[in-house]
Amino acid sequence: MKMTKIYEGSHQWIMFGRDENKPDNIVDSNQYVVRTANRCLLLDPGGSELFAPMMAAVLHHAPVEQITDLFASHQDPDVISSLGLWDQALSDAKLHAPAIWEGFLRHFGCESIEYVPIPDNGGTIKLESLELQLVPAHYLHSSGNFHVYDPQARILMSGDVGAALEGPGAPVFVDNFDAHVEKMRYFHQRWMPSNQAKRAWIERVRNLDIDILAPQHGRMFKGDDVKRFLDWFDALQVGIAV
C-alpha cells in the first residue's frame, strides 16, 4: 500500500492507495487519514479485502487505540464494507456516515462502533482542535453522500467526484489535466445521475478555498487543476444511461 503525506501542519493528511497486492477484480481505491496529536480519522476506509493492508499502513502513523473516528462518504462496499472488521478492532470509535444509510450500513457489522448519523444538510467532525466540515454531495453519486473539507489544510475529500478508475501504478496527482479527462469522462457520465445535483455541488464547492481535491479513486488534483476540474465537470452532461 502506497502512503503519501499530502499535508503537514498542526495535523497531517495521508493518502493510502495503489495497493499492488489487491485482488485484480476489485477497483483500486484511495483511503485518507487525518492525524491530529492523539486522534486519527479514516476517510472511506475501504472494502473488507483492503482491511489488513490498510490497518498495517495506518500503524506506521498511529496506534490502534488512537483510531477514534471513521467516515463513510456513502454506502458502497469499496467505501466501507470493512466496517465489521474495524468494529471488532477498535474499542472506542465513531462512524460518521449519512443518516439515511444507517440501517443499511449496519449490515456490514456495527456493534461496538457508535454510528453518528450525518443529517442531510451536513455537519462537522471535531478532532481535538481541528474542525472538519461535512459538505453535502447528495446524488453524486449516492442519494445520501458527503464530502469532507478541511479549511486549514484546504483539502476537499470528494468521494467519487473527480474519480478515475486506474491501475495500481498510476501517479497520485494529475500531471496533465487534458490527458486525464478521458480517464474520468465515462465514470462521471455513467455513475453521476443528476445534472441538477452536480450544479448545486459545484456552486457550493466554488465557495471553498481548495488546494487539493482528493477523490476516492484515481489521482488527486492540486492547484489550478482543481478549478479546471470544476469547469470541466460543470460542462459535462451526466446521467447518460437513461
Partner 1 sequence: MTNQTKSQFIAVASITSELSAVMVVAKEISLAAANAKAIAFRAGDKAKGFQPITDFINELAKETIELVTSINVHALSLYRLTVNEYRRTGAYNRFELATKMAEGAVYAQSMQEPLEHARLSMLDCQRQFKRDVAQLLGQLEAVMHHARAARVIAANSRIEASQAGEYLQSLQAVAESVDKAAHTIHDNVQRCRIALSLYRNT
Contacting residues toward partner 1, per CB under 8 A? 48, 51-53, 55-56, 59-65, 84-85, 88-91, 109
To the nearest whole angstrom, how small is the minimum distance from the Cβ of residue 64 to partner 1? 4
Sign of CA dihedral 33, 129, 148, 4: negative
To the nearest whole angstrom, how small is the minimum distance from the Cβ of residue 75 to partner 1? 19
Q: Give the angle subtended at the CA of 32 by the CAs of 201 and 180, to the nearest 5°.
A: 60
Taking the least distance from each CB to partner 1, the nearer of 17 and 98 is 17
Which candidate, 183, 174, 168, 179, places its Cα nearest to that of 220?
A: 174
To the nearest whole angstrom, how small is the minimum distance from the Cβ of residue 65 to partner 1? 6
CA of residue 68 relative to chain centroid, distance: 17
Taking the least distance from each CB to partner 1, the nearer of 66 and 194 is 66
Neighbours of 9 (CB within 10 A): 10
Taking the least distance from each CB to partner 1, the nearer of 67 and 155 is 67
Which candidate, 166, 186, 175, places its Cα nearest to that of 19?
A: 166
Taking the least distance from each CB to partner 1, the nearer of 65 and 120 is 65
To the nearest whole angstrom, how small is the minimum distance from the Cβ of residue 91 to partner 1? 8
